Amino acid sequence: MPARPIYLDNHATTKTDPRVLAAMLPYFTELYGNSASVSHRFGWDAGDAVDRAREQVAKLLGAETREIVFTSGATEANNLAIKGSVEVLKKRGNHLISATNEHKAVLDPMKRLAREGWNVTLVDCEDTGLVSVESIEAAITDSTILISVMAANNEVGTINPTREIGELCHAKGIIFHTDATQAIGKIPLDVQADHIDLASLTGHKFYGPKGIGALFIRRKDPQVRISPLFDGGGHERGMRSGTLAVPLIVGLGEACRLAIEERDEEARRILDLRERLHEGLAQRIEAISLNGHSLLRVPGNLNLSFGYVDGEALMMAMREIAVSSGSACSAANPEPSHVLLAMGVDEDMARASLRFGLGRFTTEEEIDFAIKHVAEAVERLRPMSASWMARSGN
């Protein structure tokens, strides 16, 4: 019997890998210098650690080290990418494009810019959650300067055609930003091959620490310039001032190193576990539906809607399993998932959805327990549903 509760919410955050923690610890207590201190050994050691981590992040992305700017996480990176780039580009145009099923860390900056007078278009996604190249192309105008489309959706796991969107953007001289938070460390992503100009990521989504992220900023073909969100000290080549969090940066670098070495094998194992979970639930429970693309999805994602079940009651019945009903960043919001609604999912089904996030430390035992626990919860709740009783003829 696995230890309980079982953690299946790896899209919200992941456990810090013990190897990542081990790499970080010396920089809290022994190598604790400020990386901006260039006159003594403590600062030099910290600076060397930051340089090494920057190389590790760049290698995972297929970038140059000078193209990596450290941030506090993906939300800051998204804000810096979107607001910082359009501020520089505003003389070229005022039209921005994103999608209705983006993360709030992209949608909210877009909404703020819209309130400030920018022209923002949010294209609809397909019923699989995929944002098509055709929908993006149809929305482009002569004043379009930035397009932001996530690499993989945080709720349903659908993988977008970033390479094709990037090719389109570069052909038309438009800057392409992708929120790569749910893709990094899980599926291959190469900023050069995929024609990405700006890419946001955060460490805690792939077994690194919380509070640290990065933004890739292309240096050539085209060179992307960013106006900083705040000033003070000129750190990160003036694009993100503030004393660098050396222990966290070391942890992010180590997480990237592990992803480079283990990602493909890990993805195969996690995919097998996800299929085991999906098939087990489908055998035990009728009237469930898959949300998201059946094939183009990150390995650890399984988002299901359970018919004839009250969504709130279902979540209350899941005490032994840590799952979510949507984005962790919007978990306090009682409204149904904006992602599922954007995909055309019925509101009742959207409310009765669960997002399972499998990860590096998920085991077969845990998957088998989850199948049993979820099935029993649904079986307890459905007899209380008027729609279920009407369907059953009772």
Inter-helix orientation angle 104-115/74-89, to 10°: 30
Cα angle: 240, vertex 243, 245; to 5 degrees:
100
Cα 227 to Cα 210: distance, rounded to the nearest angstrom? 25
Give phi and psi for 200, each to the nearest 5: -105, 145
**Residue 267 near residue 101 (C-beta atoms within 8 A):** no
CATH of domain 18-258: 3.40.640.10
User: Which residues are known catalytic residues?
Assistant: 329
Sequential pLDDT tens for the chain (394 residues):
787 899 999 999 999 999 999 999 999 999 999 898 889 998 999 999 999 999 999 999 999 999 999 999 999 999 999 999 999 999 999 999 999 999 999 999 999 999 999 999 999 999 999 999 999 999 999 999 999 999 999 999 999 999 999 999 999 999 999 999 999 999 999 999 999 999 999 999 999 999 999 999 999 999 999 999 988 877 888 789 899 999 999 999 999 999 999 999 999 999 999 999 999 999 999 999 999 999 999 999 999 999 999 888 888 898 899 999 864 554 455 678 999 999 999 998 999 999 999 999 999 999 999 999 999 999 999 988 777 777 766 5
Could you tell me the pTM of the whole model? Answer: 0.95
Instruction: Return the CATH superfamily for domain 6-13+262-392.
Output: Aspartate Aminotransferase, domain 1 (3.90.1150.10)
List of E strands, the chain: 6-7, 68-71, 95-99, 119-123, 144-148, 175-179, 198-202, 213-217, 288-291, 301-306, 321-322, 353-357
For 350-364, letters b (16+ CB in 10 Å) and e give bbbbbbbbbbbebee
Q: How buried is 299 (Cβ within 10 angstroms: 0-12 exposed, 13-18 middle, 19+ buried)?
A: buried
Q: How do the domains of the chain map onto residue ranges? A: 6-13+262-392, 18-258
Helix (H, G, I), strand (E, B) or coil at 130: coil
For 84-93, letters b (16+ CB in 10 Å) and e give bbbeebeeeb
**Residue 153 near residue 234 (C-beta atoms within 8 A):** no
